[in-house]
Structure formats: structure tokens, C-alpha cells
């Protein structure tokens, strides 16, 4: 694979409660389904809402989905909403 063929990976961070609540698990499933549709271009990273990184983003509610900024918080995004994320 040449440098021109390398595709940048989009990282989506999913912050969840400890242990993950029902909304957190549903959000994880929705986001991972969408990531699969993009064939490895989207990587989902799961993190605790109690982590230092959650503090850096100002996560106050779970589940929270971050793509350079908070794009969803406190609710399960719809499938269409997950694609837009």
C-alpha cells in the first residue's frame, strides 16, 4: 500500500458509566454497527466517564459520544444520528 492509498481513521470516543448502563450498551452497539459499515475507517474507543479524558471533554452525562467535541450526551443516538456523528 502506498502513502496515497492510506486512509485516515476517524476515532469516535464513547464514554460510559461504570458498569455500563443500558443506554451506554445500546449506544455502543449503535456506534459499532455504523463503524462496521465504514469498513475499518471508523474506530470506536470505549472509555470510562470517570477517566481524566472525560474531564477534559467536560462529560457530565453518559453515554457521551465524542468526535473532537461532544456530539451526543445522555441519550442513545438513532441509527441516522449515529451516521451523522
In a domain? residue 47: yes
Which of residues 13 and 83 earns the better pLDDT score?
A: 13
In a domain? residue 41: yes
In a domain? residue 84: no
Q: Write down the pTM of the prediction.
A: 0.79
Would the pLDDT of 6 be above 70?
no
Structure confidence at residue 46 (pLDDT): 95
Query: 33 lies in which domain range?
Result: 10-75
In a domain? residue 1: no
CATH number of the domain to which 53 belongs: 3.40.30.10
Which of residues 2 and 56 earns the better pLDDT score?
A: 56
In a domain? residue 43: yes
Distance CA 6, CA 44 (A): 19
Distance CA 70, CA 39 (A): 24
In a domain? residue 24: yes
Would the pLDDT of 32 be above 50?
yes
In a domain? residue 25: yes
In a domain? residue 27: yes
Q: How many domains does the chain have?
A: 1
Average pLDDT of every residue of the chain: 84
Distance CA 14, CA 29 (A): 11
Distance CA 36, CA 20 (A): 21
Amino acid at each position: 500500500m502506498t502513502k496515497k492509498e492510506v486512509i485516515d481513521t476517524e476515532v469516535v470516543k464513547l464514554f460510559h458509566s461504570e458498569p455500563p448502563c443500558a443506554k451506554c450498551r445500546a449506544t455502543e452497539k449503535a456506534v459499532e454497527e455504523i463503524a462496521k459499515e465504514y469498513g475499518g475507517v471508523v474506530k470506536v474507543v470505549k472509555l470510562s466517564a470517570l477517566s481524566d479524558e472525560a474531564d477534559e471533554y467536560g462529560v457530565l452525562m453518559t453515554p457521551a459520544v465524542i468526535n473532537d467535541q461532544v456530539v451526543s450526551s445522555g441519550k442513545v443516538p438513532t441509527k441516522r444520528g449515529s451516521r451523522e456523528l
